[in-house]
Amino acid sequence: MSTFGPLVEAPWLAAHLGDPNLRVIDFRWQEDQPGRPGYEAGHIPGAVFVDLEAEGLSAHETGGGRHPLPHREAFEDVMRAAGVDRDSAIVVYDDRNGFTACRLWWTLHYFGHDLVAVLDNGLAGWTGQLETGWRTRPHGDFVARPPRTAMKLDYDSMRHLPDHVLLLDARRRTRYLGEFEPTDPRAGHIPGARSAPWGGNLDADGRFRSPDQLRHRFQELGVHDGSEVVAYCGSGVSACVNLLGLEVAGLRGARLYPGSWSDWSTRSDAPIATADETPRPAEAGHERITAQGPDSSR
């Protein structure tokens, strides 16, 4: 599986469910709607449920915002409890076209485990039978390596970004413009950020767009080098959909601000903007990808 990831299709997963080295993780979650009931009602056979808001996945001692990054040891414990081994190939899915699955995809890379992919279109694209009830696996021997800290930025680093670094805001455009704020204390966006709703990575069927289409989308936003991009959203979850989109587009090296708007908006010294800072399409004849996807406070 040397070419495994970052996306796999449902037919591939169906054909490999019996592979002894494969682990499937159900990472569904919505605000005020725990994912476990949905998992127990029906999940991909063999999948183990992992909760985004479990103690080992969001540790408030590690940073600001609603979903700070976990401690290394705690994350290791969660993955071992899910039956993940140090050499496992992992497929992550959710029931929202990658909205939360991409966060676990990113976190696994952050802790040095690169053999991970997101199921394109998630549960909606699965046409096989579903399994019900609660499933467990024998504990694995997963090892969380020292975090790749260059993959993320904290608040202090965000306040001192060079001018050439592009900020992509994955939230719905109305939140970016400060017209609507359902969760956080202040409305608007980080000055200089461009509106890049996470749903713009997906086609009408909820699958990720082609590499060429994604490259075109991000180039319209001014992205030509992924290493000069920082992604954020409400709390560092849906921003990871943009990070995966950049990866598929071949624009690698973008970083995450895990605290995102839920951290920035609580800081009394943090400036806020509401004017649109997103560039228009360079050429009027080209299709512009503007899908915003479902709203979320995360």
Mind telling me the catalytic residues? 233
**CB 94, CB 125: distance < 8 Å:** no
Q: How far apart are CA 74 and CA 284, in angstroms?
A: 50
Q: How far apart are CA 90 and CA 24, in angstroms?
A: 6
E strands in the chain: 7-8, 22-26, 48-49, 89-93, 116-119, 166-169, 194-195, 229-232, 255-256
Q: How far apart are CA 254 and CA 246, in angstroms?
A: 8
Residue 70 phi, psi dihedral angles, 5° rounding? -75, 160
Q: How far apart are CA 298 and CA 289, in angstroms?
A: 22
Length of the chain as a residue count:
298
Cα distances (angstroms) measured from residue 152 to each of 149, 168, 182, 231, 243: 6, 14, 26, 9, 11
Helices (H) and strands (E) counted in the chain, each on its own, are: 9, 9
Q: How far apart are CA 89 and CA 72, in angstroms?
A: 19
Cα distances (angstroms) measured from residue 9 to each of 92, 120, 126, 143, 276: 12, 6, 9, 27, 36
Return the structure tokens found at 241: 């959909």
**CB 272, CB 188: distance < 8 Å:** yes
